[in-house]
Amino acid sequence: MSGSMVNITGPDGAFQGYLSMPPQTGPGVVVIQEIFGINTWVRTVCDMLSRAGYVALAPDLFWRMKAGVELHPFFPEDFKIALDYYGKFNVDTGIGDIQTSISALRALRNCNGKVGTIGFCLGGTLSYLAATRTDADANSSYYGVGIENHLGAAGNIKKPLQLHIAGADPYVPKETLTKIEAALKGKPGVEIHVYPGLDHGFARDTDPAHYNAEGTKLAHGRSLEMFKKALA
């Protein structure tokens, strides 16, 4: 199953996103990109969710800087360019685009009106923030970088949230994980799953240096189980 690029209209203008739809009506999921844009791997995540019965939309969050960014982490020059986009990225406008994408999914005839988010790296932090600043019905965050800088917003979390944290992630050292756990553990609806020994990007199957099939299967299984309950 494959999708196509579509236009999404927000208050600041139109931007594109990759949309993958199942043949039947289902819940929606906004797939939130890494720092590499809407690349091959992000599209495969959308298609995976579509096969599982979800209407999946990955918005291009870098469109204000450059539309259609598509980079790959295993190319050193791409990685350098991606870091530059990351440094210039505005989190507030990004969250606005995610809310616009949530609303766009809800308006689709194929969507049952329930919408979650799933995000990776930069998108992992944005998925956490979506739990605090959007009306998403459930959120799944994979190896988000910088979540510890936004823990003051944790009181706004009202819907189910999962954090999938790589145990050997150099961007989330042990002291950072401890800080996140102290702030979020015990909060209703919040689950923190740590994957011992796994590296940042462990769910990215186009990147053999970081991919871990067993960890990915476990994390995606947990995400889909949460979505099944929260988005029905």
Query: Helix, strand or coil for residue 174?
Result: helix
200 is catalytic: yes
d(CA 34, CA 220): 17
Our measurement of the distance from residue 195's CA atom to the centroid of its chain's CA atoms, rounded to an integer in Å, reads 18
Catalytic residue among 78, 97, 137, 169: 169
Helical (H) or strand (E) element with 131: helix 122-133
Catalytic residue among 164, 200, 210, 220: 200
Angle at 17 between CA 11 and CA 23, to 5 degrees: 120
218-226, long-range: CB < 8 A, 24+ apart:
218/193, 219/142, 219/164, 219/193, 219/195, 220/48, 222/140, 222/162, 222/164, 222/191, 222/193, 223/118, 223/140, 223/162, 223/164, 224/52, 226/116, 226/138, 226/140, 226/160, 226/162, 226/191
Query: Helix, strand or coil for residue 34?
Result: coil
Catalytic residues: 169, 200
